[in-house]
Amino acid sequence: MISSLRGQVLSIGLDHVVVEVGGVGYAVQATPATLATLRRGEEVQLATALVVREDSLTLFGFADTDARELFGLLQTVSGIGPRLALATLAVLEPDKLRAALGEGNITVLTQVPGIGRKGAERLIIELRDKVGQLPTTPGSVGDDGRVRNQVTEALLGLGFPAKQAEQAVDAVLAGDGTLGTSEVLRRSLAALGRKR
């Protein structure tokens, strides 16, 4: 399984990015939020999941391992394939998705195109207990340090200087230490973008 890619961004489409690794261009399906953080010509590191079908091999990319774990978990529910799992993560941030599943919030889950009331109920029944068992659940012991390390590493992969990356991440976590990895990354990128 290809669990991560690090390389140069060759091109960015509406639903995918092409990352060159060792002279090979990999097409990676990703959410709009992930694609928005990428720039042509810059180096990127993505957590990835390879989905194998009879007629295709498809790579899906994520800003962090947290989103990748949820992507895999969503597909354990009958009727949820990789495209719908990606669509779910495109509409709902990992933290919001966890909260909706934990609270049994059908209204939030049905915001995802392709998930109706019955599908939302099935997701809640099958995943409510499992989302709490993921090691990346916000609020778990040592979560601040893990989030800080993951986001800092992601920013370094995007080409930001180590000191700038660390300061941006620390500032975001100082404001709210309960944020998940993807939200810390988004806010850190916004802060660094203002400094450029």
Report the CATH number at residue 10. 2.40.50.140
- Indicate whether 79 and 92 sit together in one domain: yes
Name the domain count of the chain. Answer: 3
Using DSSP, state whether 3 is helix, strand or coil: coil
Q: What does DSSP say about strands 56-62 and 16-21: parallel, antiparallel, or unpaired?
A: unpaired
Does residue 136 lie in a domain region?
no
What pLDDT, on a 0 to 100 scale, did the predictor assign at position 147? Answer: 77
Both 70 and 123 in a single domain?
Answer: yes
* Structure confidence at residue 144 as a pLDDT band (50, 70, 90): low
Same domain, 150 and 95: no
> Quick check: is 137 in a domain?
no
Q: Which of 109, 131, 153 is the last residue of a domain?
A: 131
| 42, 62, 82 - which closes a domain | 62
Q: Is residue 170 part of a domain?
A: yes
Q: How far is CA 21 from CA 52, 63, 138, 141, in A?
A: 20, 17, 32, 35
What pTM was computed for the model? 0.65
Place of tokens 């709902």: 92
Torsion of Cα atoms, 86 then 33 then 104 then 112, to 10°: -60
The boundaries of the domain holding residue 183 are: 143-195
Range from 49-53, 159-163, 174-178, 191-195 carrying the lowest mean pLDDT: 191-195
Q: What pLDDT is attached to residue 58?
A: 94
pLDDT digits (tens, 9 = 90+) for 58-74: 999 998 888 999 999 99
More confident site: 195 or 84 = 84
Is a pLDDT exceeding 70 seen at residue 121? yes
Q: Please give the share of the chain, as a percent, with pLDDT higher than 90.
A: 44
